[in-house]
Amino acid sequence: MISLPHRPAILATFTLLAAFALPMKAMAEEVTVFAAASLKTALDDVVREWESDTGNAAAVSYAGSSSLAKQIEQGAPADLFISAAVNWMDHLQDANLIKPETRVDLLGNSLVLVAHGRGTEPVAIDTEFDLPTALGDGKLAMALVESVPAGVYGKAALSNLGLWDQVSPQVAQADNVRAALALVATGEAPLGIVYATDAVAEPDVHVVGIFPAETHAPIIYPAAVIKDSATPSAEAFLAYLSGPKATAIFESQGFQTLEK
């Protein structure tokens, strides 16, 4: 006859299994990502897919690329940095703060002029464009023109078109491109210069013109793992950003995915 274990023994077995199960669940990793503000809508969707697929988590801090790079330089505990401009990634690489073998040019973007609401007619942005008249007494919303990539690209485009000196007194500078977008979305500024992807993400603005690509440096989003990152899944998350699910999300938001 086979003797069955007593009830107390069965309960002890289940208790032991539960004790092992709890630490296993707690082993899920969290990747800390510092990302350009213009990525928010698309990257939030990518993170949800990543978490569903892997059981790991990603906490994303969004701001202007310049601000994020300076925070990393000062020791902020990031695992991954996604910049909206090559120069800020170069800055961290020159300071030996990223793992250069992980660096990849992830995405591209376009620069556009947006207006509040839907009533403004489309314009051709070239050397004949009369931006001062289009602005009237209003403000032109831009990200910080000396440090935040969207603002730097925008100032370069206006300068190359011979427009910067005419409109610079009317520029309302914001900490990042999403803050500039918000000024137009709320009607505080009639026009703004943002990325094409920002316009997709905000229903209260519409694109009235596209800046010619030759008026500014190529808009490239490089990504890399931070040198001091001790999170094993950081490189896995970086690879996921180039995978099919992330690519579909980025492209649906207007980003251009770059060949790796």
DSSP states along 93-109: HHTT-B-GGG-EEEEE-
Q: Is the pLDDT of residue 240 over 80?
A: yes
The reply to whether 241 and 116 lie within a common domain is no
Give the per-residue pLDDT at 20. Answer: 43
| Higher-pLDDT residue of 8, 62 | 62
List, edge to edge, every strand of the sheet that includes 111-116. Answer: 171-174, 140-143, 191-195, 111-116, 205-210
What 3-state DSSP class applies to 39? helix
Q: How far is CA 260 from CA 33, 148, 161, 237, in A?
A: 21, 25, 33, 16
Does 90 map to a domain? Answer: yes
Verify that 91 and 34 share a domain, yes or no: yes
**Looking at the domain assignment, is residue 180 inside a domain?**
yes
Q: Is residue 185, in this structure, part of any structural domain at all?
A: yes
Helix runs in 177-241, H state only: 177-185, 196-201, 233-240
In a domain, 94, yes or no: yes
Single-letter amino acid, residue 118 = R
Report the number of distinct structural domains present in the chain: 2
Instruction: Domain of residue 192: give its range.
Output: 111-215
Question: pLDDT category, 45, cuts 50, 70, 90?
Answer: very high
Question: 103 and 224: one domain?
Answer: yes
pTM: 0.84
Residue 3 lies in a domain: no
Answer yes or no: is 61 within a domain.
yes
pLDDT at residue 115 is higher than 80: yes
When mean pLDDT is compared across 69-73, 139-143, 247-251, 256-260, the lowest value belongs to 256-260
Q: What is the mean pLDDT of residues 102-127?
A: 94
Q: Any idea what the CATH number is for the domain that residue 184 is in?
A: 3.40.190.10
Same domain (yes/no): 118, 186: yes
| 225 φψ region: left (φ > 0), alpha (ψ -120 to 50), beta (else) | beta
Q: What is the C-alpha radius of gyration for the chain, rounded to an integer number of angstroms?
A: 23
Describe the crossing of helices 177-185 and 149-160 by its angle, rounded to 10 degrees.
70
> How far is the CA of 226 from the CAs of 68, 116, 233, 251, in angstroms?
12, 38, 12, 26
Task: Give bridge partners of residue 61 from the DSSP assignment.
Answer: 34
User: Do 120 and 104 belong to one domain?
Assistant: no
Measured distance CA(76)–CA(62) in Å, rounded: 13
Question: Domain check: are 150 and 176 in the same one?
Answer: yes
Question: Which tens digits make up the pLDDT trace of 133-150?
Answer: 999 999 999 999 999 999
Nearest CA to 193 among 165, 161, 244, 157? 157
Does some domain include residue 138? Answer: yes
pLDDT at residue 97 greater than cutoff 50: yes
- Confidence bin at 259 (pLDDT 50/70/90): low
pLDDT band at 19 (very low <50, low <70, confident <90, very high): very low
Query: Do 136 and 231 fall within a single domain?
Result: no
Same domain, 56 and 100: yes
Q: State whether 157 and 211 are in the same domain.
A: yes
Q: Does one domain contain both 207 and 245?
A: no
Give Dmax (Cα) for the chain.
Answer: 98
d(CA 234, CA 238): 6
Same domain, 100 and 46: yes
Write out pLDDT tens, residues 51-84.
999 999 999 999 999 999 999 999 999 999 999 9
In a shared domain, residues 205 and 130: yes
Residue 5 lies in a domain: no
